[in-house]
Amino acid sequence: MTELDRPLDVDADLTLAVGDETVTIRGYGDLVVVAAPSLSVVRTLAGTAAPPFDVHLLDHLSDADVTLDVRVRGRSVARAGSEVDAGPLSRALGVAPARVSLGGLLLTTLGEWRC
């Protein structure tokens, strides 16, 4: 483990504006939770990261022993970290090393259709 690849404790409470929507980012030690109001906001956030930031961000979080949990309206839709196995769905979607939660995506999608 190099000096940059050491375990971190993240203590943060951030609010981010994405268009007219609000995203909260909270750090709870070794867990960072990104809470978004919709899947479209998550897609917008994912699309705004510029290489090489997007390519290496999850690797750096994993090296620092930090887990990232992406939630939409309280439901976990993706998770990444050193203890997280991407699984076959995430590899097929090309989002590994993050693990996509099929159940979380389905519940979120159903909820967005009802709104």
Query: Does the CA dihedral 29-11-53-88 come out positive or negative?
Result: positive
Is residue 5 assigned to a domain? no
Q: What is the pLDDT of residues 31-62, one digit of tens each?
A: 999 999 999 898 888 776 544 345 467 777 77
Question: What is the overall mean pLDDT for the chain?
Answer: 82
Q: What is the dihedral of CA 62, 4, 25, 97, to 10 degrees?
A: -20
Q: Which domain holds residue 38?
A: 10-114
Tell which wins on pLDDT, 113 or 55.
113
Output the pLDDT for position 52: 39
Confidence of residue 75 (pLDDT cuts 50, 70, 90): very high
CB 84 within 8 A of CB 31: no
Is residue 91 assigned to a domain? yes
Is residue 2 assigned to a domain? no
Is residue 73 assigned to a domain? yes
Q: What's the total number of domains in the chain?
A: 1
Is residue 46 assigned to a domain? yes
Tell which wins on pLDDT, 30 or 4.
30
CB 80 within 8 A of CB 68: yes
Under DSSP, is residue 25 helix (H, G, I), strand (E, B) or coil?
A: strand
Is residue 1 assigned to a domain? no
Is residue 3 assigned to a domain? no
Q: What is the pLDDT of residues 15-36, one digit of tens each?
A: 989 889 999 999 998 899 999 9
Cα–Cα distances (Å) from 16 to 2, 21, 99, 111, in that order, read: 31, 8, 23, 23
pTM over 0.85: no
Is residue 83 assigned to a domain? yes
